[in-house]
Structure 1
Amino acid sequence: MLVPKVSIKNLEDATLIFGPAQKAVAMAVVDSVEEGIISKSTIEDICIICGVFIHPEAKDADKIYEFNYEATKIAIKRAFNEEPDIDEIIKKKNDAGHPFYK
């Protein structure tokens, strides 16, 4: 399930979300199954919810695809390997940064 994190205001926004971003997420999921990260035996019993952020000024469909594919692959791998564990999260909680907030 693809969840846009910004409002879709026009056809251009929709085309970027439901074009390169959606394909990137779909390919990351199927590649994760093919690579054994997600078990074929469980694929019909799970739902992957993927929040997708595309900056309003982004226009390069290839970069949108690349960034969303890589981010989704990393997130799937970490989720299915239960990484990071809660002790690591607690240990590093004060070291975390965010580009849009101090």
Structure 2
Amino acid sequence: MYLNGEARVGEGNEVAHIDLLIGDKEGHVGQAFANALANQVESHTSLFALIAPNLIAKPLTLMVPKFSITGMADVVKIYGPAQKAIAMAVVDSVYNEVIPEDNVENICMICGVLIQPDAKDNDKIYKNNYEAMKLAIRRAFTEEPSIEEILNEKDSVIHPFYQGP
């Protein structure tokens, strides 16, 4: 069994969108975690969420960029503000008891991270990814949204990239 969370925060090129899986290291998410780390995909290099070099976030969190990394500008954004934001959101979620501290060595997380190629403002990249990751974690552990909320809102919400039926 695993938990899942999703969150979108911000606007414009610095918008953050997180897709999150949380599960036991010995289970399916743990296997996917190991596979993603061992089988890197060109231009979509998976990386650990680090607070800083030599200080990894726990529970172990693997970031998977949703856009291709095509040059040093992309590398700096993903390995800089995005990586620190994701790591800090994970650690702060433990600190704030959203993630049970006694569980941090038993679970792992995989998160898809959206960093648009045209994003320029590193502070907004950090802020939006931090908030989106915290929200995705909370939603995963509280199993939000509920099916009732989904059914009640499915016909009234607007998708940002498609406004059709």
Instruction: State the partner residue of 1:14.
Output: 75
Q: Where does structure 2 lack aligned partners over 5 or more consecutive residues? A: 1-61
Matches within 5 A, 1:36-75: 36-75=97-136
Q: Where does structure 1 lack aligned partners over 5 or more consecutive residues? A: none
- CA shift at 1:87, angstroms? 2.6
Instruction: State the partner residue of 2:149.
Output: 88
Secondary structure, in 3 states, of the residue corresponding to 2:112? strand
User: Whose RCO is larger (CA < 8 A, sep 6+)?
Assistant: 1
* Letter matched to residue 8 of structure 1: I
String of CA shifts for 1:22-70, please: whole Å, max 9, x gaps.
Answer: 1000000000000000001111111111111112111111110000000
Instruction: State the partner residue of 1:3.
Output: 64
TM-score of the superposition, structure 2-length normalised?
A: 0.59
Between the aligned partners of 1:47 and 1:8, the Cα distance in structure 2 is 24
* Letter matched to residue 134 of structure 2: K
Between the aligned partners of 1:81 and 1:58, the Cα distance in structure 2 is 31
Q: How many residues align?
A: 102
Instruction: State the partner residue of 2:95.
Output: 34
Mean CA deviation greater in 60-69 or 84-93: 84-93
- CA shift at 1:97, angstroms? 2.4
- CA shift at 1:93, angstroms? 2.3
- CA shift at 1:81, angstroms? 1.1
Secondary structure, in 3 states, of the residue corresponding to 1:37? coil
Between the aligned partners of 2:162 and 2:75, the Cα distance in structure 1 is 27
Bigger strand share: 2
Mean CA deviation greater in 84-93 or 42-51: 84-93
* Letter matched to residue 154 of structure 2: K
* Letter matched to residue 109 of structure 2: I
Mean CA deviation greater in 82-91 or 39-48: 82-91
